[in-house]
Amino acid sequence: MAREILSAIASPATTDQPTENVSTPSRISPRRSFIKGMGMVGAALSVGSLLKTEAEADEHRRFIPIGDAAILRFLAAAEILETDLWQQYNELAGIQDSEVPGGSGNEAYTEAVAQLDEDMAQYIHDNTDDEMTHELFINAYLVSKGAEPVNLDRFRTLPSSKATGAQQIGRLTNLMQLTVDTTWFTRYRSSSQNPDFGDVLPQAIPALAVGQHPAIPRTDADLQDSNFLQAIANTAGFHFATIEQGGTSLYAQLAQRVTSAEVLRIVLSIGGTEIMHFQTWSDKAGNAPPIPPTVDPVTGVMVSFPDLNAPPLGGEDFQTNLIMPEPTVFLNKRLPPVSIIRPTKTNGAAMGALKALTADGLFIGQSKAFFNFMRTLAIEADLARRENF
Ligand SMILES: [Fe+2]
Ligand SMILES: [Fe+2]
């Protein structure tokens, strides 16, 4: 689908025009009246010099700075990976329709996931749909600016689930051997800590942070034991929030090194939906039913889900309905606490995201070539610096 849409995109010269042609009178006049109102500061600039600057800017805007392209290319890759994993969830537990085609649903798994919220199938579908549009839009924008889009098709080599409902195609991501970082649950409830200051917060579900756990049924045999099936569904419920929290931070981190205002607009606008996704999943994960220690019949790995409203969690700081970010330290501890997303430090953000996804187990089975390609994209994105454009 990505290829069809990309080939339908017009050349850079035409896609630019509607939003970027700043030399039309309608775009200049507001600037002129703005100059009148600028007073002392504006007096230093002549209209002529401003027009010259705008003409130069117009010339620049047919392209985007190399650093912006590198950031968008890394984000395009991240979105392709997100689409791949969300499609796998949707095939088994989402709504099957023409917007998100491919699967045929798995009744038992869908029901277990619905224990977290009866609308889970709709949310899974919509999150998947969103990621598909993120991927397609960023790649299409890159093409419209004469930059190279990202294509990961050659790395679609990982197996699909063999459970009823999944289509049998090559995948980019592996949802059957996850080690899920659930520190976002405690991180967003802390009023004194922030990973940007080096703080390490505790796991909400310690069992998911060790060993490898399926977040989708591997085969229909995984549907037999109701406790284990619920553990798989709960793992998915937490993984949803882990992934979308990653996106939430990643966009805010990379936005700080974007140069073009239009690219910044893209990063802020798409990043905002990652935040909406995270908030939704953060709410749903809190509904995951407690599960006593249960053994994975295939791997022998133990999994359990605690009551999140009981010690060592629960109480005033950790009750599950606290889904708004607790105000915490930001930038400088002498400043007052503030409600923020976290972390947002920008240095090395792309490589950090790649490492986190890798540590998640998402790429188990992927080739050396895949890791080399992704590492190159991350290095290039992390070399990007905000320029005077
Ligand atoms: Fe996304
Ligand atoms: Fe996302």
Tell how far the Cα of 9 is from the centroid of ligand 1, in angstroms.
21
Q: Are 253 and 349 in contact (CB under 8 A)?
A: yes
Q: Which residue has 């917007």 as its token pair?
A: 99
Q: Are 170 and 153 in contact (CB under 8 A)?
A: no
- Residue closest to 175 by CA, chosen among 120, 134, 230, 212: 212
Tell how far the Cα of 132 is from the centroid of ligand 1, in angstroms.
8
Q: Which residue has 């950790």 as its token pair?
A: 318
Q: What values do phi and psi take at 88, rounded to 5?
A: -65, -40
Partners of residue 294 on adjacent β-strands: 303
Ligand nearest to the CA of 357: 2
- The alpha carbon torsion through 86, 90, 96, 97 (nearest 10 deg) reads -10
Q: Are 49 and 35 in contact (CB under 8 A)?
A: no
Note the pLDDT of residue 310: 87
Tell how far the Cα of 270 is from the centroid of ligand 2, in angstroms.
9
Both structure tokens of 282:
């953060």
CA distance 159 to 144: 34
Structural Rg of the chain based on CA atoms: 23
- SS3 at position 213: strand
CA distance 328 to 312: 21
Tell how far the Cα of 238 is from the centroid of ligand 1, in angstroms.
17
DSSP string of 248-316? HHHHHHHHTT--SHHHHHHHHHHHHHHHHHHHHHHHHHTTPPPEEEEE-TTT--EEEE--TTSTTSBHH
Give pTM, 2 decimals: 0.85
Along the 389 residues of the chain, how does pLDDT read in single tens digits?
333 333 333 333 333 333 333 332 232 223 333 333 333 333 344 445 545 565 555 455 678 999 999 999 999 999 999 999 999 999 999 999 999 999 999 999 999 999 999 999 999 999 999 999 999 999 999 999 999 999 999 999 999 999 999 999 999 999 999 999 999 999 999 999 999 999 999 999 999 999 999 999 999 999 999 999 999 999 999 999 999 999 999 999 999 999 999 999 999 999 999 999 999 999 999 999 999 999 999 999 999 999 998 888 777 778 888 889 999 999 999 999 999 999 999 999 999 999 999 999 999 999 999 999 999 999 999 999 998 75
Note the pLDDT of residue 61: 67
Note the pLDDT of residue 53: 61
Ligand nearest to the CA of 131: 1
Note the pLDDT of residue 318: 83
Tell how far the Cα of 81 is from the centroid of ligand 2, in angstroms.
10
